[in-house]
Chain A
Amino acid sequence: MIPASFEYHRARTIDEALELLAKYGEDAKILAGGQSLLPMMKLRLASPGHLVDISEVAQLKELREADGLIRIGAAATETALLHSALLRGKCPLIGEAAAQIGDPQIRNRGTLGGNLAHGDPGNDHPSVMIALGASVIARGPAGERRLPMDGFYRGLYDTQLEPLELLTEIQVPTPPARSGAAYLKLKRKIGDFATAASAVQLSLGEGDTCARIGIALTNVAPMPLRLSGAEALLAGKRITAELIEQAAQIATGACDAADDFHGPSEYRAQMAGEMTRRALAGALERARRD
């Protein structure tokens, strides 16, 4: 378990990182927390010639709110997300998901940007960000682009990011008052990827009707799955047990999971439904208390 040789470059600023990327092209890889990349390199599933380390770029660690957007630097660690008072107060879904990723040591290194950019369907933040209606900012030679998370993934380990682009920031619309969220993840043990997981972010309007809802699933398809059908079903209505049941069935039907250690595809699809059922009930209860 020894990585092949490479050259290491520590970037101090975003511009420096972009220059290094431009210089070394497709032979370079961004090293953020390294908790996915380094194991892949140790298994020699990845052998980049150059690593551009962005973990010390201060700009990429900022976490703030401005103009109705929560803006999170791509190199913010899971631990930083967990401990952020801003997120706890205004967008607890992100910390709730972060708490279910890896273990304490992994969370100290692993970053939000890395989790999103890696394109591993087992990663948890993609579905969370889709449920939140978030976008990411990508910077490259041609300037800056804003990419909605819904549609960001093109397939397994494949995203809209261009080779010379750096994911710099995640922008999450601040949920309004009377919002509730939940991330339900079924896993075998601490540190495991999800058998199935469901992210729900909803807001209530007049008469407790559902003013906005985002639902997305983790690790039950080659990409995170947004449940638009279930969202449409619930939007504008008072969410009842019957509707939750229907939404759960939509979740199950949407899955395209592989058979693996977590179980056969049928089980994982059923669990996607079960997690959605629980996430919807939890989010609704929280919204009512918000």
Chain B
Amino acid sequence: MDAASAAETLNKDHLMGIGNARKRKEDPRFIQGKGRYIDDIKLPDMLFAKMVRSPHGHARIKSINTQKALGLPGVHAVLTANDLKPLKLHWMPTLAGDVQAVLADEKVCFMGQEVAMVVADDRYIAADAADLVEVEYEELPVIVDPHKALLPDAPVIREDLAGKSEGAHGKRTHHNHIFTWEVGDREAADRVFGQAAVTVKETMTYQRVHPSPLETCGCVASFDKVKGELTVYLTSQAPHVVRTVVAMLSGIPESSVHVISPDIGGGFGNKVGVYPGYVVAIVASIVLGRPVKWVEERIENLSTTAFARDYHMTGELAADRNGRIKALRVHVLADHGAFDACADPSKWPAGFFSICTGSYDIPAAYARVDGIYTNKAPGGVAYRCSFRVTEASYVIERMVDVLAQKLDLDKAEVRLRNFIRPEQFPYRSSLGWEYDSGNYPAALQKVLTAVDYSGLRREQAEKRARGELMGIGLSTFTEVVGAGPRKTCDILGIAMFDSCEIRIHPTGAAIARFGTKSQGQAHETTYAQILATEIGIPSDVIQIEEGDTDTAPYGLGTYGSRSTPTGGAAAALAGRKIREKARKIAAHLLEVSAEDLEWQGDRFQVKGVPDQAKTMKEIAWAAYNNLPEGMEPGLEAVEYYDPPNLTFPFGAYLCVVDIDRHTGEPKVRRFYALDDCGTRINPMVIEGQIHGGLAEAFAVAMGQELVYDDSGTLQGASFMDYFVPTAVETPYWETDYTVTPSPHHPIGAKGVAESPHVGGVSAFSNAVIDAFAHLGVTHLSMPYTPWRLWQKIHDLGLDKRSG
């Protein structure tokens, strides 16, 4: 065995470090029912809270009568806005620079809005009491269509903003207007469009959806009156920021606020925000001096916390006759609901939407997003993607297909002609991003070969000749993940870095804590693998902890695929600090100078003398009893990592769909997903994340939609109607990869879990539309339910039976 492969064997097999498909460390507790999720937490004397919510989309509250509810035995309190007013907690700041009513103050602006909270001995009494709270409403005109929200005589949704012509993101031009965000050189783009040989334009609605993790949101708040300390367990993807916000809002010193995220049953963006339920439960605990639990029901989850998307987009491309793209223009009407509670970095009202030039070298581009209030639930979270990246990727991946159709070019060929070339990296996009690395043509070519793309196109031609509907969808997407850097990205003024704190114990086992928070991404496994490779101790003996703000170092949390780019980088650098100290200890033990040692994966060895070595285990012991003169004892390191740039994972997906032309049912026959997330830490975990992201993309493209009727009533806010596919509907996934490391990340990793969602949605969409492309169809709105497809089929006369 040569030295390189020996090192590989040591790293993968012995240490189970980077690259090892090791089994997950979190699994034993989960498969034995010993996970500890929010609703599993039970404190002595705990009470249960239930929210009373508005049945109307827009109404004035004439009165609230709590007497009957308070009269029910076992009810301890019914809180309304009036109870929160003395504490100045009836409104709270949102992540997007707006304010949101905690409990409705004189009027409600969306169906399901929080009006009162009852607190009772248990959830049964709380449910009975909630029914007894009498609220008298006077209904107001409702607006659910963002296109109508800006009409001069549209109803005023936010009376509290009357007279405020300046919002958190600049000028407001209408009472239902939140912001206008522009990026790029409009004049340059317009010039190109004016002279272009070919232009295409398409409007597309990216429907309102919901991340709907299987566990809903909830919290247990416990205020200790004697100590003046507040402990809050909650389903948060970002517990440290929550602690800071709670301390600021409550006036309790941050050191006396303990926020703990226990095991989280999926997040997908739903658990980034701070919701009224948390705030009122905390107030209730402070007022009553007893622990209070509040857990959403599924209907509440779907109708009040954290919608995603609702982007109404117009895309335009200008190109030459060879299909070479010269310019992009995009306009978005962004429906933010009744309060602007989007979970984006503070300076980014439309998130990273400006990644909308995608994987293509487009010299001129301009994008504009107008944020609008409507009588719908607030939210605007990144559902399994970095901030607004799915929307951005969708518009460009769709537009490239539209251009190909216009020019009668193959959809793969147009992509190949426009890709940013490998030698152009690091690449500066016309909308200001610096793409770190990529090899887009290689990825696409690999997929085309694997699926026999030309064979599929031949089959499609034969089927079209027979009147059958078969579509081939491509998506060659680029994501942008891993916020910071701190100079451009913050949450409520807190820079978006992340952190790792590691302590090696005398026996060579270790504990490492992070500022991120897994919701199923296997941090306990993969962080340990990074540390194992960096420090040279087996990942099995490295325990990872997150979520407890008392013990974990400050961090910004897990969303936007930021854990590996930031927390993973912090792990690698903290590990290197450990190694540097270890080198000095080893030199002391071996009585040589540190420069005479070389690192052998799990030990320091005197250069060229293999039997003169000290393993990391031996060094750990020495760190506590045999140190060089003047060195402080222990073996610990802390790293707060501010990323120099974001990372840009990418992929090439291909989807084949057959559509039944008599029922409209789409059947995904094949889905081939090639992902490049740079260095691969655990291939098993990566594959699992990709399967999951693709399944969520499938759900969005094929069926998910939060529909409001004209009265502002949300239709179908349960799993009976809201589409969550089962194992039977979900397609089979084929996965593949290339490896293009990030040049600026310590281990070259980029983050992966959201790519399949970002790339998947447009692949499904492009496949379905491609099935109709030969008939001149350039776009169809999601979700692709059988009836929508049948409607198109019927309009085109394709469902006629011959003879």
Q: Which residues of A contact B124 (CB under 8 A)?
A: 2
Docked complex: A159-202 residues within 8 A CB-CB of B = 186, 188-191, 195
Which of B123, B785, B791, B794 touches A2 (beta carbons < 8 Å)? B123
Alpha-carbon distance between A270 and B795 when the two chains are bound, in angstroms:
13
Alpha-carbon distance between A186 and B729 when the two chains are bound, in angstroms:
13
Look across to chain B and name the residue whose beta carbon is closest to the beta carbon of A189: B729
Asked if residues A270 and B790 are in contact (CB atoms below 8 Å), the reply is: yes
Instruction: Determine whether B662 belongs to the interface, using a CB cutoff of 8 Å to chain A.
Output: yes
Docked complex: B107-134 residues within 8 A CB-CB of A = 123-124, 127-128, 131
Q: Which residues of B contact A274 (CB under 8 A)?
A: 662-663
A2-B123, A263-B785 known; A186+B663 contact, CB < 8 A: yes
Alpha-carbon distance between A267 and B799 when the two chains are bound, in angstroms:
12
Q: Which residues of B contact A186 (CB under 8 A)?
A: 663, 665, 786
Contact with B along A1-27 (1 / 0, CB 8 A): 110110000000000000000000000
Which of A5, A103, A188, A245 touches B801 (beta carbons < 8 Å)? A245
Contact with A along B127-148 (1 / 0, CB 8 A): 1100100000000000000000
Asked if residues B787 and A267 are in contact (CB atoms below 8 Å), the reply is: yes
Q: Which residues of B contact A286 (CB under 8 A)?
A: none
Docked complex: A235-271 residues within 8 A CB-CB of B = 245, 261-264, 267-268, 270-271
Asked if residues A195 and B728 are in contact (CB atoms below 8 Å), the reply is: no
Instruction: Determine whether B723 belongs to the interface, using a CB cutoff of 8 Å to chain A.
Output: yes
Asked if residues B785 and A188 are in contact (CB atoms below 8 Å), the reply is: yes
A263-B786, A267-B791 known; A190+B728 contact, CB < 8 A: yes
Look across to chain A and name the residue whose beta carbon is closest to the beta carbon of B801: A245
Q: Which residues of B contact A190 (CB under 8 A)?
A: 726, 728-729
* Count of chain A residues with a beta carbon within 8 Å of a chain B beta carbon: 22
Contact residues of A: prevailing secondary structure: loop
Docked complex: B194-240 residues within 8 A CB-CB of A = none
Alpha-carbon distance between A190 and B663 when the two chains are bound, in angstroms:
17
Instruction: Determine whether B27 belongs to the interface, using a CB cutoff of 8 Å to chain A.
Output: no
Least CB distance from B757 to A in Å reads 19
Asked if residues A188 and B728 are in contact (CB atoms below 8 Å), the reply is: no
Q: Which residues of A contact B801 (CB under 8 A)?
A: 245
Instruction: Determine whether A154 belongs to the interface, using a CB cutoff of 8 Å to chain B.
Output: no
Asked if residues B728 and A189 are in contact (CB atoms below 8 Å), the reply is: yes
Look across to chain B and name the residue whose beta carbon is closest to the beta carbon of A259: B787
Instruction: Determine whether A44 belongs to the interface, using a CB cutoff of 8 Å to chain B.
Output: yes
Q: Which residues of A contact B785 (CB under 8 A)?
A: 188, 263
Q: Which residues of B contact A270 (CB under 8 A)?
A: 790, 794
Which of B127, B128, B297, B726 touches A189 (beta carbons < 8 Å)? B726
Look across to chain A and name the residue whose beta carbon is closest to the beta carbon of B716: A261
Look across to chain B and name the residue whose beta carbon is closest to the beta carbon of A192: B720
Least CB distance from A140 to B in Å reads 33
Q: Which residues of A contact B128 (CB under 8 A)?
A: 2, 4-5
Q: Which residues of B contact A245 (CB under 8 A)?
A: 801
Which of A4, A44, A191, A263 touches B787 (beta carbons < 8 Å)? A263
Docked complex: B745-803 residues within 8 A CB-CB of A = 785-788, 790-791, 794, 801
Instruction: Determine whether B721 belongs to the interface, using a CB cutoff of 8 Å to chain A.
Output: yes
A188-B786, A270-B790 known; A261+B131 contact, CB < 8 A: no
Instruction: Determine whether B725 belongs to the interface, using a CB cutoff of 8 Å to chain A.
Output: yes
Q: Which residues of A contact B173 (CB under 8 A)?
A: none
Alpha-carbon distance between A79 and B794 when the two chains are bound, in angstroms:
38
Look across to chain B and name the residue whose beta carbon is closest to the beta carbon of A191: B726
Alpha-carbon distance between A190 and B724 when the two chains are bound, in angstroms:
10
Which of A44, A188, A267 touches B723 (beta carbons < 8 Å)? A188
Docked complex: B57-86 residues within 8 A CB-CB of A = none
Instruction: Determine whether B184 belongs to the interface, using a CB cutoff of 8 Å to chain A.
Output: no
Asked if residues B663 and A271 are in contact (CB atoms below 8 Å), the reply is: yes
Asked if residues A264 and B787 are in contact (CB atoms below 8 Å), the reply is: yes
Alpha-carbon distance between A1 and B127 when the two chains are bound, in angstroms:
8
Q: Which residues of B contact A191 (CB under 8 A)?
A: 720, 726
Alpha-carbon distance between A262 and B703 when the two chains are bound, in angstroms:
10
Q: Which residues of A contact B720 (CB under 8 A)?
A: 191
Instruction: Determine whether B488 belongs to the interface, using a CB cutoff of 8 Å to chain A.
Output: no
Look across to chain B and name the residue whose beta carbon is closest to the beta carbon of A271: B663
Asked if residues A188 and B703 are in contact (CB atoms below 8 Å), the reply is: yes
Among A103, A245, A263, which residue has the most Cβ atoms of chain B within 10 A? Answer: A263
Look across to chain A and name the residue whose beta carbon is closest to the beta carbon of B298: A1
Q: Which residues of B contact A188 (CB under 8 A)?
A: 703, 723, 785-786
Least CB distance from A284 to B in Å reads 17
Q: Which residues of A contact B665 (CB under 8 A)?
A: 186
Q: Which residues of A contact B788 (CB under 8 A)?
A: 263
Residues of chain A touching chain B, judged by Cβ–Cβ distance below 8 Å, are 1-2, 4-5, 44, 103, 186, 188-191, 195, 245, 261-264, 267-268, 270-271, 274
Residues of chain B touching chain A, judged by Cβ–Cβ distance below 8 Å, are 123-124, 127-128, 131, 297-299, 662-665, 703, 715-716, 720-721, 723, 725-726, 728-729, 785-788, 790-791, 794, 801
Q: Which are the 3 A-B pairs with shortest beta-carbon distances? A: A263-B787, A2-B127, A267-B787
16 extra interface residue pairs, beta carbon distance < 8 Å, beyond A189-B723, A190-B728, A274-B662: A1-B127, A1-B298, A4-B128, A44-B131, A186-B663, A186-B665, A188-B785, A189-B726, A191-B720, A195-B786, A261-B721, A263-B785, A263-B788, A267-B787, A267-B790, A274-B663
A-B contact pairs, 7 of them (CB 8 A): A1-B127, A2-B123, A188-B723, A188-B786, A189-B729, A195-B787, A268-B787
